[in-house]
A and B are shown apart, each in its own frame.
Chain A
Amino acid sequence: MRSSRVVVLFTLVTILMASVSILLYIPSTTSYSPYNPYPDGLSGFMDRYDVSVCYSKCDLDRYDNVILLLDKPISNYSRYIEYVSGGGNLIILDSAGYSNDLLSKFGLDVEIYNVSILDEISKYGDRFHVKAEVVYRNYSIGLYKPSYIEDNTLNVDVIASSSIFSYLDLDGDGNYTIGEPIGSMPIAVKFSYRLGSITLISDRNFICNRFIDKGINIEFLDESLSGNILLDLSNTRYSGIDYVKLYLSSMSRRGFIDYLYALLLTILTVVGVVVSRGIKI
């Protein structure tokens, strides 16, 4: 009975260590997850920049820049309006038009239409990875199937546009179809609101590994992000595992995980000595 107790203890400690390791180091496959190393993940962005992440109830005021990645409708507009009013820089990454209501709250007649812009001429690899020139800058940015931004407001600055051969894929078939509009279209705009500013980029993949890992968009981000950065993922579809990984990462960052590992290793060592020496517990 006593020896079986040792085995159970040994197994439990091993499982606990393995579970923590797996949760910490096995990559996530959730789109837009900071722990996803695949093309649709944000691990490259997280590695490059010192970014805080929040999945809910984000405290925006502590940060100079907030990147709001939208993968579902926004749940609470007021905190973003308060944040920008107070001088914050809000960068919205939205392909589907989830930010349209928020933009109207800022008094803007700017809308994102869920229609992709494709470009077979000016591109990174294929026409879905559109290469857009940044206005007044000597570099380009990459966007994955950016959406069309309709801008009817005068005080909005276009900061990046697609090439003159880009087209709107109205029927969504991924190819140019006769009659689809061709021409340069805005895909990133910026405007000021009270003390702060809002940058709207019509692609939620803008900071994904598909670009960051290839060194694309780095110049733009380096220029745009100065000071504390918060990645607000409260409007994305994340999995429970990502939430646990976030929690464990924050513990790891504070050194708790090291203590936990040290404790578990000590227990394992003691158990090993007990078993090998035949000491009965």
Chain B
Amino acid sequence: MKPVKYILAALVITVLIHPITLYASNEYHLDGAILSEAFMDVINSIKAGDLEEARYQINIISNASLPSELSYIHLKTYNRLVKVLDIVSSLDEIFSTAMSNPSIDLISVLRSKALELYTIRIDIEDDLRSYASSLLKYVPRSESTFYHRRLNSVIDLFLNYLDTLVYRAGELIKELERVYGVRYAELKIEYIPNIVPAGSNLTIPLSIRWLDKPLENNTVVIGLTIGLVYHREYRFKLGNVSSFKLNITLPDSSELSRYNVISPEGVKVYGVIYLTSYLNNTEVIAGRSMFNFVIMFYRPSIKFVVPSISYYGEDIRVRAFSHLEHPINVSIYIDKIPYGNVTLYPGENTILIPYANISKGYHRIEFSINPYGKYISLAYSASLAVTGKPIKALLTYSGSCIEPLTKFKVYGSLREYPNETIYLRVYSGDKLIFMEPIKELFTVDIPVPYTLFADIQHLRISIGPLDPYYDPYVIEVDILTVNLVGVLILSFIGLAGVYIGLSFEREIIVRVLTGGLRELYRGLKRVREHGFREVLIEIKESIAAKLYWSLVNRFPSIFPKPIPSETLREYYSRASDKLAGGVKNEFKSLTEYVEKDLYSRYKVAKSIIEDLVRRVRDEIK
């Protein structure tokens, strides 16, 4: 290849690639710095009490399209901040109302909001710090330390602000209670465990110390809150006792799963105990106390043993070992379709799945246990291959066959299957080309599909009964098939072609070397137009012919005009009509000499031709 061609090729490639490279986008990096600035702006707006501005900012930020790894925590954090905004906004209103129009009703509202804020303040701390760490991953390394410090500082100040709000609310409650003459009673929780299993009974020993004389119609209210989504109250009527035990049943995993608050590490529960009493026919909060503990969940200890392979026509047996102290219901799904429910008892169980429900092939069996008591849900799934019983056979085959001399031969041995007729089937693609029953020892000649010359045929040999309970022994083979007759015919045609081609090629070479390509072309054209091939003969320059034709042309009145297609002899017989005697004989001799000179290997002496020409000319004159 010449350098010019290289340059042209490079140019073509450049032209093709240029538009692609021109618009290929570079890797896009999110700008974490500006997101951090926006985050801090929102927090500062809330902290500064500019709640409407903060709401407007959150509304814009929430719609930002971000990478999937950031978008979840981004949305979660800003949703939490919206809730904080709502609570802070409500507290602001309550504070204002307490200043302008105080009433005893504000106490319960304020207490409820303060509790909400306290709960969310605990939860949001993790969210804010996680979000800040996520943002820092997108901040350039040179600025990450700066933003790390700033973000932490802003978050700390914000959490302090929320603590201050909770404190302010508490102080305001106290103040309102003082103003409206509520008498205090001290509630003391003697003991509360740190961790309690879900769904279990919890006993809370509580003692009440009245600061003044006891009030009447006392009710103890226990409120349990998990996050912002679950809240439950228990009420107990009290007499005038001062110490007693409150028994409550905690929500079980079934109930809590509906609120999506289940976590393997347990969930933290915030509780409050109120003592409501009546004073002058008005309900008042006489005392309160707060507590917290963790509700713990457990994974049910059940082990399933599913066979990896099962034979078609046989029931599937799944063993299950339950270490639970009570029976439990299990739902079974086969390929996501509900199959049924069974009850597992403590100890070893066997689950029987009838074969009629399962076809051949791969299946997925799933066992699902719903949350119950302290146990969370459990799903166990396993793959199961349902196959037929395998056919045991040994098979050997010839790797090639030359038709019509040899056949494709298959021979082998087969285990005894007394109740079944075993067939040997051969497929080419999906087409069955051969089928024959076989015995324990077999030798079979298989007619392979016809091939024109030679081919490698891909065949599938299957040995098995027609009964679907068995899986046939299958082997795929490649057989070289040669059609001897076809090959011989092809060889013959090839050889003939080569022979003809070589002869023709030699002629072309001769013509090219002698400058006769134009004649060759014309000859080929004649072959195309008239269906025959002109035999080309090299025509040498002939002085005899020149003298002959100059004689003929000199006497047009005697010699007729020659026709291109006639031979010299044909011309002589036509021209000799006007000649007589000696001239006729001499012209005949002249024609024969010229023929000899032109078409034989011998040259005629110039003097003979000149002599004959002279004699004919003299006699005509």
Contact = CB atoms under 8 A, between A and B. Distances in A.
Interface of A: 27, 29, 38-40, 118, 120-123, 125-127, 163-165, 167, 174-178, 182
A121 B146 contact: no
Given A120-B34, A175-B33, A178-B33, 14 more contacts: A118-B31, A120-B31, A120-B35, A120-B64, A121-B60, A122-B63, A123-B65, A164-B57, A165-B41, A165-B60, A174-B31, A175-B140, A176-B37, A178-B143
A104 to B, nearest CB: 33
B23 interface: yes
B19 A38 contact: yes
A121 B19 contact: no
Question: What's the interface size class on B, roughly?
Answer: 20 to 34
B22 A123 contact: no
Contacts of A123: 64-65
Contacts of B143: 177-178
Contacts of B57: 164-165
A143 B8 CA distance: 40
Contacts of A175: 29, 31, 33-34, 140
B574 interface: no
Nearest to A126: B28
A42 to B, nearest CB: 15
Contacts of A29: 18-19, 22
A258 B210 CA distance: 105
Interface string B481-496: 0000000000000000
B61 interface: yes
A182 B60 CA distance: 14
26 contacts: A27-B19, A29-B18, A29-B22, A38-B23, A40-B23, A120-B31, A120-B34, A120-B38, A121-B60, A121-B63, A121-B64, A122-B60, A122-B64, A123-B64, A123-B65, A163-B60, A165-B34, A165-B41, A165-B57, A165-B60, A167-B34, A175-B34, A176-B33, A177-B33, A178-B33, A182-B37
Contacts of B41: 165
A126 B64 CA distance: 10
B324 interface: no
A121 B140 contact: no
Nearest to B66: A120
Nearest to B30: A120
Interface in B38-62: 38, 41, 56-57, 60-61
B18 A121 contact: no
B23 A121 contact: no
A202 B240 CA distance: 79
B22 A38 contact: yes
Nearest to B142: A177
Nearest to B28: A126
A118 B34 CA distance: 10
Contacts of A174: 31
A178 B146 CA distance: 10
Contacts of A120: 30-31, 34-35, 38, 64
Nearest to A27: B19
A121 B22 contact: no
Interface in B98-129: none
Nearest to B529: A278
Nearest to A131: B63
A175 B140 CA distance: 9
Contacts of A177: 33, 143
B128 to A, nearest CB: 18
Contact of B35 (A40, A121, A178): A121
A174 B33 CA distance: 11
Nearest to B525: A278
Given A122-B63, A178-B143, A127 B22 contact: no
A39 B65 contact: no
A28 to B, nearest CB: 10
A126 B67 CA distance: 10
Contacts of B63: 121-122
Nearest to B36: A176
A127 B33 CA distance: 12
B13 to A, nearest CB: 15
Contacts of B33: 175-178
Interface string B140-154: 100100100000000
B64 A164 contact: no
A268 B159 CA distance: 84
B529 to A, nearest CB: 10
Nearest to B143: A178
A265 B124 CA distance: 76
Contacts of A182: 34, 37
Contacts of B18: 29
A242 to B, nearest CB: 15
Contacts of B22: 29, 38
